[in-house]
Structure 1
Amino acid sequence: MPTSVLTLKVLHLDDDPFELERIKTSLENHALDCQFQVTSVSKPGDFITALDHEPDVVILDVHINDEHTNGIQLAGSTREKLPSTVILMCSSADDVTTIKNSLNAQADDFLSKRSDRGELSLRVLNSYQLASLKRPAKKSLAVANSKNADQPVGATIASISVRIPRLLDSAVSAVFISGESGTGKEVVADLIGQALHEGTPFIKVNCGAITPSLLESELFGHIKGAFTGATTDKRGLLESASGGWIFLDEVATLSPAAQTALLRVLENKTLLRVGSPKPVQVDLRVLSATNEPLAELVKQGKFRADLWQRLRETEIVLPPLRERPDEIPALVAHFCDTMAGGPYTISGPALTALCGVSWRAGNIRELRNCLRAMTEQHVNKLLTPLAIPERIWDEIGDQRPSTQDRVGSPDPRSDGPSETRDQIVLPWSADSRYTYDYLCDLLLLDITRKVADRPGRLSLRGLAQTIGMSRSTLSTRLKALVHRNLISLRELSQLVGINEV
């Protein structure tokens, strides 16, 4: 049976006929498992007309030569007309201001006209894949009716959210949520709570967070004088949840006495407050969860078998993230949208690296914490491989890239500095993680540092003359290195006297 090939309709606007031909040729002649159908136009009017064919990707020249409009304005109007279309801005001026203005116009990515042909097709495909992942993630979030911005999305959670209405309308009175730590058990409980009719009780209890001496009193309540300090009667959480649901997280931590009392509630719909012989009628449904293997605890006699059976009238199973790696991109996109200080975007190489992690220690929670850590080193809200914590690189089994490994500095694994002083020592193997623009930045940084090592003070004008670049262009490019966290402003000031960016 033949394998289907992804076909993308690309609409390209540029007033330079040579650039139109270059991109068309680059996209239509490549080695990727994808076909590009390119429509090239040189006038904004033709571009607007061609939008009626709903292209998958549009490439817009930022500085289109037209007195009535420009690429930035067209990007905004295109986003309004075609919200799902991927918008890529393109320019030979790839300074920080141009890139920032492009992304602020709701473009998905920025392409430098200096990109080589091989990189261009890959960048277009990666941008399409990343953007298309983010949009379905938002739709899944809407389906889940989540009120909590930290709740993850993905096929597993989305499928459970579809199941919840059927569950609520059924005769099921006890639901057990199973899964490793961080797989989203509390998320599922919250989704059920949010699906209840307004005014229906929904109480969450972390049994492991309450001391054993107080747990029975908290769950079942007590009467005045039941123990020292019991100065009044108190309703327990189970009684307060009557008519609705209660979520018992870490249920494996219940004492034998509490297990027996809970079984009575499930079987007879009655409870006894601590210190009282009088039964209290309750009508509630129970959600429970734990990270512990309850089946093993039952075999060891540490958990009641009859209670275990009663708690799992039906079960919601959350597989670990390592068993559903196809959901990682959607989860990453969701967290990038909802993290404080966002929205953020993530580079293709960084996403590829995260998809290669098993997340065995903490599953979705660990992935979220990793992305939060990466935001500390964002570059204009872009998360790159350089920001991935070292503990994650240790699991991937790759060498973490580091700005401490200065470009052009001796390789510490070599026998001496002489073999590497005339080379750019890349943080790790030069593969698809490096874009053409990034390599140009590394080369400029390396040249600047090497020229600065020469006798005498280095001026910006002298450096520009040495490398054959205008002073203003060089200044812009060097300031961009600071924005991209490749060099500190302090070092740049020491090298060429640039004191602000």
Structure 2
Amino acid sequence: MTHQTALIVDDEPDIRDLLEITLTRMGITTYTAPDLTTARALLEQHKPQLCLTDMNLPDGNGIDLVHWIQQHTPCTPVAVITAYGNMDTAIESLKAGAFDFVSKPVELPRLRELVNSALKLSEPKIQDSAEADEPGLLLGESPQIRKLRNQTRKLARSQAPVFISGESGSGKELVARMIHMQGPRADGPFIAVNCGAIPSELMESEFFGHKKGSFTGAVENKEGLFRSANGGTLFLDEVADLPLAMQVKLLRAIQEKAVRPVGDTKEVPVDIRVLSATHKNLPELVQEGSFRQDLFYRINVIELAVPPLRERAEDISLLADHILQRIAREYECAPAKLTPGAIERLQGYDFPGNVRELENILERAFTLCDEDFIDAADLHLGGGAIPGTPVSERSSDTGTSEAPAPVPEGEIDLEGFLENIERQAIEKALEATRWNKTAAAKRLGISFRALRYRLKKLGME
């Protein structure tokens, strides 16, 4: 194991001693400095794996030191010690490039967590990922995607809250996963939650957990998303959909690094990094009053914009090949290739739904084309019949002359109802052809690959 070193910068001898004793007990060799001048000299001489600095120093402030470290020893994570409740200073230090912050009076368990996280940044796997332009989850060779990969690597080395903006389907969750995977929390959980998918009456319990018996239906203790993400990353997708009442509670949980489960009187500390995203215009919602300015200020310490697919058309061929390989593996079929005409058609398309839409287009084309090549016409981007129409909705001759299944009265599960009709039509075609899939596909008026896809999707294999 590498010998670990840290620099403590504070003009108060008592605080220097407290921090030095704490870090020495953790097996870390410490150097101390009472001012910026001494700190800079020690940083250049020893290149420590962590720097802890107070904000107010005789010859400047902690943010000056953060800026200096960013320029001269950027591999040294620096954490700033701020006055209690001074969130403005904490956020300013994170924006300047600080790894994290800790408030006075310094809580030693919190300090140890911070130190352990910072020291993980000097581990070989994190150092390696910081130097190589590995695509990871973010595929592409365009300047935009290379820049995005570079930004995620830098942000992975910080604990600052990141707000990821971008259109629907552009890959915001992938960016969040990359930040998590390349940082010191990679071994901890990554919990993604769609804020718009949780009913407002269940939101507090979902986020913070609850105690057994705290309300009707609370038959056992529940941990909640914040505690599930402890030691890792919580990704709040579609954060703009949070109701105002929940925004207040979320802000408190983020600032206090603690949650209070529903029905409990005590707060439980949590060690998480918060990443958030939305496809909506959050500054506009702040202006309208539907999103709290203080919460926006807290989660938007650093903004990361994900480019839409139409702005990186040169990546489409690579992305499409990757998607088609994955689809082929999932449905145990031979992979299909795009013809030059199909690639050209995709590169000229606007993609309002971005990468998610590209996946849907290719999945439909893969299941409906007869050959191992997908041509421009197979993409169905120019109107006409809706591609991917279920077998039950097609007018092709299935060899039966039965009337369509009657629609049940009252509320129905349309997906389930259509899948049931589809399952029946496929079963009849297979029985009529003695389970010869090629003949059954012909009878149903679809390709053999489309039948394989549907059998797998419907669990009929």
The structure with the larger Rg is: 1
TM-score (norm 2): 0.50
